[in-house]
Amino acid sequence: MVRSYLDMDWGMRTVSFTGYGIPLQADIAVKNMMSKLQSDYPERRDELIELLGVDPEWRMHQVSDGQRRRVQLLLGLVRPFEILLLDEITTSLDVIVRQDLLHWLRKESEIRGATIIYATHIFDGLDDWPTHLTYFTGEGKTGWQGLLNEIPLYNELKKSGKPVLLSLACDWLRREQEHLKENKIKEIASGNSIIENSYKPYISGGGFAPGRLAGNIDNS
């Protein structure tokens, strides 16, 4: 089974004493990145280049955040997939590219039978896009999972002409917030650095957190 996963961390790195999410600055042309994979699927590559507006001559140390995201999508989608996991991948895309990408992904699902799982906080243009919906609560539990048209509130909102998914998400999340307030539950810090350092406190954030010296010592 061919699986693909795309998230927001592609093309980023941690730089000591600088921070997380620093763009890679390699002077390489898009056409030379994963060139074997691109050459294996020339028609699909050309379709994605046209769809995403990518110039194969772009050099990666000169691209903007939005252009870097489009290059990531090109390389991540050029190989036909059976399951595709997308985590906030439309961040940094302009409105036209985002809508064209969503239409292309829907076509991939309808024509090739691919399964696409898309995690997002951006609901513009998605009201009629998904077939199923999964909602995870802040506790990591499943608040809803199933066909979109089986949600009573979804059908009510659709008849009213309001933004469906945005209104639905706000309804669920506000109920969750009320539950937290009623039970006086505080939200805790949960960033990647907190999670990583809780396991290995001596390997700290690329050299800018306490204990950073030990991260360069070979304990073997």
Question: At 44, which helix (H) or strand (E)?
Answer: helix 42-52
Task: State how far the Cα of 6 lies from the Cα of 86, in Å rounded to an integer.
Answer: 5
Query: What average pLDDT does range 148-168 have in this prediction?
Result: 88
Q: What is the pTM of this model?
A: 0.77
The pLDDT value recorded for residue 7 is 78
The pLDDT value recorded for residue 211 is 46
Q: In this predicted model, what pLDDT tens digit does every residue of 1-47 receive, in sequence order?
A: 788 888 777 777 666 656 666 777 788 999 999 999 999 999 999 99
80 contacts 112 by C-beta, under 8 angstroms: yes
Q: How confident is the model at residue 188 (pLDDT cuts 50, 70, 90)?
A: confident
Angle at 115 between CA 156 and CA 84, to 5 degrees: 115
What burial letters (b/e) apply to 76-114, b meaning 16+ CB within 10 Å? bbbeebeebbbeebbebbeeebbeebbeebeebeeeeeb
Greatest alpha-carbon pair distance for the chain in Å reads 65
Could you write out the DSSP letters of every residue in 111-172?
A: HH--EEEEE-S--TT-TTS-SEEEEE-TTS-EEEEEEGGG-HHHHHHHHHTS-HHHHHHHHH
Give the start-end residues of each E strand in the chain. Answer: 3-6, 12-15, 19-23, 83-87, 115-119, 132-136, 142-147
Q: Which amino acid is at 180?
A: L
173 contacts 163 by C-beta, under 8 angstroms: no
Query: What average pLDDT does range 195-206 have in this prediction?
Result: 49
